[in-house]
Amino acid sequence: MRKKFISYAVPCIGDDDIKESDKVLRSDWIATGPKQEEFSNAISKYTNANHSIAVSSCTAALDIAIGAMNFAPESEIITTPFTFAATSNAILYNRCKPVFADIDKETRNIDPKSIEKRITKKTKAVIYVDYAGHPCEMDEIKEIAKKHGLYTIEDAAHSIGAEYRGRKIGSIADVTAFSFHALKNITTGEGGAVSTNDQNLYEKMKMLMNHGIDKSAMDRFGKEADYGYDMKMLGKNYRMTDFQCAIGISQLRKLDSFIKIKSKLSEFYDEELSKIVGIEIPEVKPHVKHAWHLYTVLLGGGIDRDAFFRKMRTMNIGVNVHYIPIYNFTYYKQFNINKNDFPITEDVYRRIITLPLHAKMTKEDAKDVIEAVRTSLN
């Protein structure tokens, strides 16, 4: 048995990242400023989006994305229930109604056919999540959105670095939201960003992340600058510190190498786990590049997931469950959502387990995980 607990994910911060943030911390500008602009531009360059804004979290990113679209209260936004609570909470912040669609069993992504069934006269947007780092079926989703005049928002908390039909995630949806939380593909501790090709949405999001004010602190700094500014919308303080942005710039340079390590480990998992009866390995569509934020498997019929979870944890393997469907949460009970409308989500939720996968892991670690899977199933 492993002596040391292995977590499903860990932050991968190196001396190079620390050095960059150290420089900023010793300067006179540590809150949002030049490094935030530099990080935002680096995200645009990486994702091929026209505009990006580094903000304090992906939750903030989703909130300002919906806010910029300015929907009337009670508007409906379709999303997946198989995600972190932040995705649909952002809909509620904007006084809109989350309407859940079912998922696809293989990718655990929102099922475009289910989206179409949930559309009403009140539907204004679709928020889809690239689960585990596997891009959604964007062509189909965008076609549905176009047909019904809906905005698309991509919750890419798992998928920076992924590609859909040769295109980097970040400029395909109307707005894409990224997360730089400690356990995501790259990290700034807490952090996030939006990317878009839409100039109008960009300008609104830029205000919404800074109280609705039309000028940044940098715009008002220095000998030539004026003190004046206006507040045009009711925004929030979703600004990211410059010392975090310095870490982000440095982390972004290493993103592709992190993905490479994780994709090699995933291949090894696939190879070994496919030999084990009772384990269904995740499917990767041929037209995508996976970002491998998570490696999840489905347990076959008759295997008790929760008992398996306990056994793995006892053996120091930090398995996890992503996700508890959102409609199960106490707060969401008020919306009277019927579980029976989500047969695939329910089936996947009962059988899914996340195995450890991160860029600090070695093949030996992966072997320990596989060995523990074998032992747990016996």
Q: Which residues here bind ligand PLP, judged by CB under 6 A?
A: 57-59, 83-84, 86-87, 129, 155, 157-158, 179, 181, 192
For ligand PLP, the closer of residues 179 and 244 by Cβ is 179
The Cα–Cα gap between 265 and 74 comes to 45
Q: Provide the minimum distance between the beta carbon of 158 and ligand PLP in the complex, in angstroms, as a whole number.
A: 6
Please report where in the chains the tokens 């120091």 appear, as a residue: 316
Residue 169 near residue 190 (C-beta atoms within 8 A): no
Q: Provide the minimum distance between the beta carbon of 29 and ligand PLP in the complex, in angstroms, as a whole number.
A: 23
Decide: residue 281, CB within 10 A, 0-12 exposed, 13-18 middle, 19+ buried. Answer: middle
The Cα–Cα gap between 234 and 206 comes to 12
Helix, strand and coil in the chain, % to nearest 5: 40, 15, 45
Q: Provide the minimum distance between the beta carbon of 182 and ligand PLP in the complex, in angstroms, as a whole number.
A: 9
Q: How far is CA 344 from CA 105, 110, 325, 328, 330, in A?
A: 6, 10, 11, 15, 21
Q: Provide the minimum distance between the beta carbon of 151 and ligand PLP in the complex, in angstroms, as a whole number.
A: 17
- Alpha helices (H) in the chain, listed in sequence order: 15-25, 34-47, 58-69, 85-93, 112-118, 138-148, 199-208, 242-273, 305-314, 343-351, 363-377
CB crowding 245-271: b at 16 or more within 10 Å, else e: bbbbbbbbeebeebbebbbebbeebee
For ligand PLP, the closer of residues 162 and 373 by Cβ is 162
For ligand PLP, the closer of residues 279 and 353 by Cβ is 353
Q: How many CA atoms lie within 13 A of 309 on its CB side?
A: 15
51-55 and 192-196: which strand pairing?
A: antiparallel
Residue 143 near residue 170 (C-beta atoms within 8 A): no
Q: Provide the minimum distance between the beta carbon of 302 and ligand PLP in the complex, in angstroms, as a whole number.
A: 30
CB crowding 118-144: b at 16 or more within 10 Å, else e: bbeeebbbbbbbbbbbbbbbbeebbeb
Q: Provide the minimum distance between the beta carbon of 153 and ligand PLP in the complex, in angstroms, as a whole number.
A: 11
Q: Provide the minimum distance between the beta carbon of 80 and ligand PLP in the complex, in angstroms, as a whole number.
A: 9
Q: Provide the minimum distance between the beta carbon of 27 and ligand PLP in the complex, in angstroms, as a whole number.
A: 25
For ligand PLP, the closer of residues 131 and 372 by Cβ is 131
